[in-house]
Amino acid sequence: MNNNQFNRSYIIRISFISALGGYLFGFDFAVISGALPFLQKQFGLDQYWEGFATGSLALGAVLGCIIASAVADRYGRRKGLMAAAVIFMVSSLAMAGAHNRDFFIISRAMAGVGVGMASVLSPMYISEISPAQFRGRMVAINQLTVVTGILVTNLVNYSLRNYGDDSWRWMFGLGAIPSALFFIGACYLPESPRWLIKAGKIDAAKTIMGKIGGMAYSNQSLQSVQQSLQGSGKINYGMLFHKSILPALLVGIGLAVFQQFCGINVVFNYTPKIFESIGASQDDQLLQTVFIGGVNLVFTLAAMLLVDKLGRKPLMLIGALGLSLLYIIVVLMLGKGSDNV
C-alpha cells in the first residue's frame, strides 16, 4: 500500500500520546538520583535503606508487568494506559507528601506498578495501532520518550537543588503534571483495533483503521488480524523448546537479562553517590546526572537513525564493546580519586 494513503499526523499524534507512559517511566527511574541525597538526610537512610528505597520501584514494576496484560486483555489497551496514568499521578503525590521512610518506599513501589504497566502497554498499543510500514519507527518513539524523561527529570532536579531540605518533595510531586497530561491524552486515544476485533466490535475497529489508512487498509487489516487471532486461544508452550526456536529464545532472553545486568542502572540511580565518593560537591553531583542524561539522549537518537543502515547486531556489538572499555576506564579514574576503590 502507498504510504501516502496513511494519515501520518494522526498516527504520530496517538503514538506520542501513548508514549507519554515512556516519559513517566524515565521520570520515576531518574528522579531518585537527584532526590537521594535529600532523602538520606530526611529519613536517616543507611546504605541498606538507600538501596531499598531505590529498588522498590523495580519490585513494583514486576507486579505492574504481570497485571498489565490481564488488564489490557479484559478492559482494553486504552483503559490500561489510563489506569497507569492514575497510578503515576497518585504515587507522585504520595511520594512528595511522605513523612516517614516506610510510606515513601510503599509509594515508590506503587510508582513501580505504573512503570511496569506503561513498559508493557505503551509499546503494545503503538505496535497494534501503527501500520506495519511505520511500526518500528513508532515503537522507537517510546524509547525516545523514556530517555527524554530521564534528561528532563535530571534538569529539573538540578534546578531545584538549592530550594532547601524539602527540594525532594518538589522533585517527586512535579511528576503529577505529566501524569495528568498522560491521563487526559489517553482519554482521547482510540482503542486498539486488534483488541476491538478480538472483543467482537468489528465496526468500531474498521472505523479506527479507516481513519488511519482509508477503507482499503481497513479491510485488509481486518482480514489480517482475524487470521492472526484464529487459534490464538490454543497455546502450545512445548513449541518453545523445539530446536528451531529454543536457541533464538534463549538469545533473546539473555540479551534482555544482560541489558539489565550491564550496570547502567547503577550509574543512573547512584550518580550522586558515585561522585560524592571522589569529593564532588552536591551541585556537581547533580550536574553530572544532567550530563549523563544528555549523552543518553544523543546516542538514543543516533541509534534510531543508524539502526536501519547498520543493522541491530552491529549496533549491539558496538554498544557492548564500548560499555566494557568505558567501565574499565571509569573504575581506573574513580580509583585515583577515591580511597574506597
Which tens digits make up the pLDDT trace of 131-172? Answer: 887 887 788 888 889 999 999 999 998 898 888 888 899 999
- Average pLDDT of the residues in 41-61: 89
Q: Where are the domains of the chain?
A: 1-189, 193-234
- Phi, psi for residue 141 in degrees, rounded to 5: -60, -35
What is the enclosing helix (H) or strand (E) of 191?
none
Least confident segment among 46-60, 202-216, 245-259, 261-275: 261-275
Query: In the structure, what pLDDT confidence band is assigned to residue 106 with cuts at 50, 70 and 90?
Result: very high
**DSSP state, 263?**
S
Average pLDDT, the chain: 87
Condensed to tens digits (0 to 9), the pLDDT of residues 213-254 reads 888 888 888 888 888 777 655 667 777 788 888 888 898 888
Close Cβ partners of 75 (under 8 Å, ≥ 6 residues apart): none
Q: Which of 107, 102, 79, 80 is nearest to 91 (CA)?
A: 107
Can you tell me the distance from the alpha carbon of 289 to that of 269, in angstroms, rounded to the nearest whole number?
Answer: 9
Percent of the chain's residues with pLDDT above 90: 35
At 199 the three-state DSSP class reads: coil
Can you tell me the distance from the alpha carbon of 221 to that of 105, in angstroms, rounded to the nearest whole number?
Answer: 45
Q: Determine the length of the chain.
A: 341
Can you tell me the distance from the alpha carbon of 156 to that of 106, in angstroms, rounded to the nearest whole number?
Answer: 24
Are 193 and 209 in contact by the 8 Å Cβ rule? The answer is yes
Using CA atoms, how far residue 3 sits from 15, 52, 128, 209, 305, in Å, is: 17, 49, 17, 14, 20
Using CA atoms, how far residue 339 sits from 1, 115, 276, 326, in Å, is: 64, 37, 12, 21
- Grid coordinates given for 260: 539489565
If you search the block for the grid coordinates 538549592, which residue do you land on? 162
If you search the block for the grid coordinates 515503537, which residue do you land on? 139
**DSSP state, 238?**
G
Q: Which of 318, 37, 331, 64 is nearest to 158 (CA)?
A: 37
CA atoms within 13 A on the CB side of 324: 7
Can you tell me the distance from the alpha carbon of 16 to that of 322, in angstroms, rounded to the nearest whole number?
Answer: 31
CB pairs under 8 A, 24+ apart, for 137-142? 137/304, 138/11, 138/12, 138/15, 140/304, 141/12, 141/15, 141/16, 141/19, 141/22, 142/18, 142/19, 142/21, 142/22
1-189: what fold? Growth Hormone; Chain: A; (1.20.1250)
Q: Which of 93, 151, 120 is nearest to 18 (CA)?
A: 120
Which is more confidently placed, 104 or 331?
104
Are 290 and 155 in contact by the 8 Å Cβ rule? The answer is yes
What is the enclosing helix (H) or strand (E) of 108?
helix 101-129
